[in-house]
Amino acid sequence: MATLLVGYDVEAFAVGEGLARMGDHGLLEALDPASTVKALQIIRQNHEETDAPATLFICGRTLLHALGAFKPLAGHPLFDLQQHTYSHTLFKEDRWQGGVFIPSPPEAIEHELTTTSAALKRHLNVDCVGLRTPHGYYRGLTDRPEMLAVVKDCGIGYVSSWARNAEGGNPTPLSVQPFWYDEQGFPDLLEIPFQGWLDAFWFESHGIERGEAFGEVLKEAVDEIVAKDLTYAACFHDWAMLRYREERTRWVRTLLSYAREKGVEILSYTDFYRRMQAARS
């Protein structure tokens, strides 16, 4: 059955290496901590009105600077809260729009993950099992066993890190499907690639006011997963709800409504992981 997983990287005010550089591309105004409240309101309304589950991959710094905005979502039947590192630190080198984004060493990654999981537990009583890596990479972490070891040691059960095509850009083919890291020696660690177009890649290339057009692109992805019986793990951002005018152009709402119309199953990333776990045991 065709399955849609909708995830949001919630990272305003995380101010890591990657997000600090993004200020050069006109995104800084959307990274103010006050934007988190408004963005989460838009996300919540969209998902409640379409009865569609979603996963919020939250940076620890964002969580602590906007804690009140997250508390109503902890335990909410539609929202699954997982992590996106503490300060949006990278696992692998990345290049985007002429910039070079430098990765952190395993020791720094371990600190980022343990700190964020502890914050989720302390403040929201969430046991973190899922991780979205900032930026995403071609081949995910298949070529970084030292990073997989850190992820596993930090209690993470699934990671969402493959988000680029062979050229290092977007879109990522929908044929890149979830898999276990068996070959790397981590058979209990699941990769859930986030495929298709990342919102920022598409909008910054095609125009930030063209949300209606992006909605049509997202509908094409739904048509493909229905035709081929695939899983599509979408990735959006909290600040993107504001920068790309979701309230007016409704590109996320278009995806959710069209998926419902086509009979696509919509799950959180963590529910999908649990299903994969059960099928494997």
Query: What's the mean pLDDT in 112-126?
Result: 98
DSSP state of 30: G
Q: CA-CA distance, 227 to 171, in Å (whole number)?
A: 18
Q: What is the pLDDT of residue 27?
A: 56
Number of domains the chain contains = 1
Shortest CA distance to 238 belongs to which of 4, 46, 5, 105? 46
Instruction: List, in order, residues 6 or more apart from 132 with CB less than 8 Å away.
Output: 7, 9, 57, 82, 83, 84, 159, 160, 161, 194, 235
Give the CATH number for residue 26: 3.20.20.370
Looking at residue 42, its amino acid is I
Q: How many CB atoms lie within 10 A of CB 135?
A: 22
* Model pLDDT for residues 16-30, shown as the tens digit of each residue: 665 656 555 455 555
Which is it for the CA torsion 183, 184, 188, 190, positive or negative?
negative
Question: pLDDT value at position 34?
Answer: 77
Percent of the chain with pLDDT over 70: 92
With a cut of 80, say whether residue 81 has pLDDT above it. Answer: yes
40 and 70 in contact (C-beta within 8 Å)?
yes
Please give the Cα distance from 115 to 117 (Å, whole number): 6
Name the residue range of residue 36's domain. 3-280
Give the mean pLDDT of 136-141: 96
**Lowest-confidence segment of 24-28, 141-145, 195-199 by average pLDDT:** 24-28
